[in-house]
Amino acid sequence: MTEAGRERAALSAEFERVGPGVPTLCGGRTAGELLAHLLVRERRYLVSLLGIPAPSVLRAAERRMARLPWLEMIELLRTGSGGWLPGRRPTDGLEFLRLYVHHEDIRRARLGWEPRPPEVYRDDTLWHGARTLGRLAYQRSPVGVVLRRPDGESWPVRRGPRPVTVHGQPGELVVHMCRRPRVRVQAAGPPADVSAALAARPGTLFGGFAATRPPDGSGQHTTGYNEG
């Protein structure tokens, strides 16, 4: 089974465990609304594209999806998008990251959340994805941005002057780039450059919103935030 397949199974089990009414970190959605959001993007892909210029179309599709029985919705997620079937989302290489972030949207909405324990293959897959996602997340940064994981491996995702380095476990870096409000990373560089780089991230990656608390600016060279 691929990492995406494992994450899909784990997310499905998480939805089944928590039920539709719990809060998440995905744009203020409940778990039920998040699952409907996911299913529309996977199984009503053309509708989700129409929803970009016409958000009311997307909201209506999500409301219709949310009327399905809860366990039926979970089974639709568990069985996947169906590849290239008409109207369904094609595999785009970001499936694992999307599922991982939405799983974290549920986990991190709870008090006392903790990052997942390290896991070599999963973290290597996340690191590879973070390098791709980082180019999108930081494309508007006015300064350079380098990602660095705890083993010291680093990757520049934005070329530019006065590069800022964002340190963290691969999964934390992925969640951070999606501007979720609870994440554990350290951003090193002049405070003004750190603030500019972090502010440049879009607030809409994987259905999110611009809710990440800005760094506090303390210290001359290192700004970090641990939100719990």
DSSP states of 7-70? HHHHHHHHHHHH-TTSB-SSTT-BHHHHHHHHHHHHHSHHHHHHTTT-HHHHHHHHHHHHTS-H
Whether residues 89 and 186 fall in one domain: no
Position 188 pLDDT exceeds 90: yes
Domain boundary pick from 46, 75, 107: 107
Q: What is the pLDDT of residue 1?
A: 82
Whether residues 158 and 218 fall in one domain: yes
Position 228 pLDDT exceeds 80: no
Query: Do residues 9 and 77 touch, judged by C-beta distance below 8 A?
Result: no
Query: What mean pLDDT comes out for the span 14-21?
Result: 98
Domain count, the chain: 2
Whether residues 125 and 77 fall in one domain: no
Q: What is the pLDDT of residue 53?
A: 78
When mean pLDDT is compared over 85-89, 171-175, 202-206, the highest value belongs to: 171-175
Query: What mean pLDDT comes out for the span 69-86?
Result: 81
Q: What are 207's two structure tokens?
A: 């259905």
Domain boundary pick from 80, 107, 134: 107
Mean pLDDT of the chain: 86
Lowest mean pLDDT among 79-83, 98-102, 176-180, 194-198: 79-83
pLDDT-based confidence at 80, cuts 50/70/90? confident
More confident residue, 34 or 50: 34
Span 110-143, pLDDT tens digits: 999 999 999 999 999 999 999 999 999 999 999 9
pLDDT-based confidence at 94, cuts 50/70/90? confident
Domain membership flag for residue 156: yes
3-state class percentages of the chain: helix first, strand second, coil last, to nearest 5 = 45, 10, 40
More confident residue, 225 or 218: 225
Whether residues 56 and 91 fall in one domain: yes
Residue type, 76: L
Residue type, 29: R
Domain membership flag for residue 62: yes
Whether residues 63 and 146 fall in one domain: no
Whether residues 102 and 140 fall in one domain: no
Q: Which domain holds residue 195?
A: 121-226
Whether residues 91 and 128 fall in one domain: no
pLDDT-based confidence at 81, cuts 50/70/90? low
Domain membership flag for residue 152: yes
Whether residues 171 and 74 fall in one domain: no
**184-188, strands of its sheet edge to edge:** 154-158, 145-148, 164-167, 184-188, 222-226
